[in-house]
Chains A and B, each alone.
Chain A
Amino acid sequence: MIALLLRDLKLSFRAGGGFGLGLAFFLIVTVLVPFSVGPQSSLLATIAPGVLWLGALLACLLSLDRLLALDWEDGSLDLLATAPLPLESVVTIKALAHWITTGLPLVLAAPVLGVLLNLPGPGFGWLVVSLLIGTPALSVIGTFGAALTVGLKRGGLLLSLLVLPLYVPTLIFGAEVARRGATGMEVQTPLLMLAGITAAAVALLPFASAAVLRINLR
C-alpha cells in the first residue's frame, strides 16, 4: 500500500504528472475575482470565504479525470486488480495521493490568497481548518466519480457533471465555517456537519468506488 502511495506521489512530481496545476488554477481564479467584481474591499471581504472555497473545489476537480484514467489506459489498473491489494485499499490510496498532491497544497495556499481578497483577520484560521477538514471529502468523492467514468471516452466532462452535485454539501458547510469564522460568529454546528460529511465519505465511498471499478473493469 505504501508502495502504491509512493509511486503515485512520484508520478505526480515527475514531468507531466500534473502536480501544481490545481494550485496554479486556484491562484489564477482568486486573482481574477477582484478584477471581475471590482476593488471595493468591503465587498471582497464579504465574498472572500465563499470564493476561496469555490476556487479550491474547482481546483480539486481539475485533476480528477487523470486519477484512474492513466492507470486504466496503460493497463496497470487491470494488473492492480489482480494483485494482492484489495481494490478498496487501491482507491483509498489513490484518493489519499490525490489529496496530498492537490488538496493539501490548496489548504496551505489558501491563507496567502485570503490576503488578496481582503479576508478579515479572524477568518484565516477557520478557512484553513475548514479546508483541512473538507478537502479529503472532495478527493474521496472525486475518486468515486473517477471510478464511475473510468474507461469512457471524454469521461472527464461527465465526471465533472457527476461529481459537482455531490460536492454541494461539503461546499455549503465548508464555506459556512469560513464565513462564520470571518465574521466572528459561532462555527461549531457547520464545522461538525462538515466533519461528519468527510467522515462518512471516507468511511463509505471506498467500498462504492471499488464496487463500480470492478464492474467497469469487466
Chain B
Amino acid sequence: MTLTVTDLAIARGGVPVLEGLSFALPAGKALILRGPNGIGKTTLLRTLAGLQPPLSGRIEGAEDRIAYAAHSDGLKPTLTVTENLTFWASVFGTRDIQPALEAFALNELADRHAGNLSAGQKRRLGLARMLVTGRPIWMLDEPTVSLDKTAVAMFADAVRAHLRQGGSALIATHIDLGLDGEVLDVGPNKARPKALDDFDGGFL
C-alpha cells in the first residue's frame, strides 16, 4: 500500500515551514528527504507519524503503519539491550528480537546496560528497534548520526532487506546510502511568510 501525501502544509511552533508538498511512497521503495537545516524535515516526519496535525493537505495510508525513529532513541539507561528491545517488541506485539540483534551486531552487547553503551552503539540499538516494530513504513530522522562506516553499511543493509520484504522507508539524511529510491528535496516547498513579502517591499 502506498503512502500518499497531497498538498501538505505543516508548521513548527505555529510558524508555517513547508507548503504545497506532494509525494507518493510506494511499497518496496525508499524516499530520501533532503533540504537545508531548519527547513522542516523533522516537522514533516513528526506530522506523518501523527505526532502533530498538518495545517492543511491530506496524508493517506499512514494510519498504524509507521515506525518512527526520532533524534533521540528512547532507550532506558538502566535496562539492558535485550530488555530495551523486548519492551518495544511487546508494545508492538512482536516477539522475536534475535534478527534485530543480529542485523545491528548487538549480540555481544545483549546483556549490557544501555547507559554503558557508546553513542554509536546506542544509535544501533535505537535502529534495531525499527526491526522489532514489524511496521511497513519506516520514518527515520538522521539515522546515521554517530554511526561509523561499518554501522552505516549495516543500517543500509537492514533498510534494503526491509524494502525487499515490501516495506518502505522515508529517511531524512545527508549521506548517500545507496538505496533503491528517489531523493525528495523539500527546499522549493519552503513556506513563504505572506505578510512579510509586502513588508520587504516597503523598503525597496
Contact = CB atoms under 8 A, between A and B. Distances in A.
B33 interface: no
A85 B133 CA distance: 12
B50 to A, nearest CB: 6
B93 A84 contact: yes
- Secondary structure at chain A's binding surface: helix, strand, loop or mixed? helix
B92 A83 contact: yes
Given A78-B72, A80-B91, A82-B67, 13 more contacts: A3-B90, A7-B79, A7-B87, A15-B78, A74-B76, A75-B74, A76-B74, A79-B68, A79-B69, A81-B50, A81-B51, A82-B50, A84-B91
B51 A218 contact: yes
Contacts of A81: 50-51
Given A4-B91, A84-B91, A78 B51 contact: yes
A84 B64 contact: yes
B105 interface: no
Given A11-B79, A14-B78, A76-B74, A82 B52 contact: no
Contacts, number: 71
- Secondary structure at chain B's binding surface: helix, strand, loop or mixed? loop
8 contacts: A3-B86, A7-B76, A14-B79, A76-B74, A76-B75, A79-B69, A83-B91, A84-B91
B87 A84 contact: no
Interface string A179-218: 0000000000000000000000000000000000000011
B26 to A, nearest CB: 22
A81 B68 CA distance: 10
B30 interface: no
Chain A interface size, as a band, is 20 to 34
B147 interface: no
B66 interface: yes
Contact of A79 (B53, B74, B90): B74
Contacts of B164: none
B83 interface: yes
A74 B72 contact: yes
Contacts of A2: 90
A75 B71 contact: yes
Contact of A217 (B51, B90, B93): B51
A84 B92 contact: yes
A5 to B, nearest CB: 11
B52 A11 contact: no
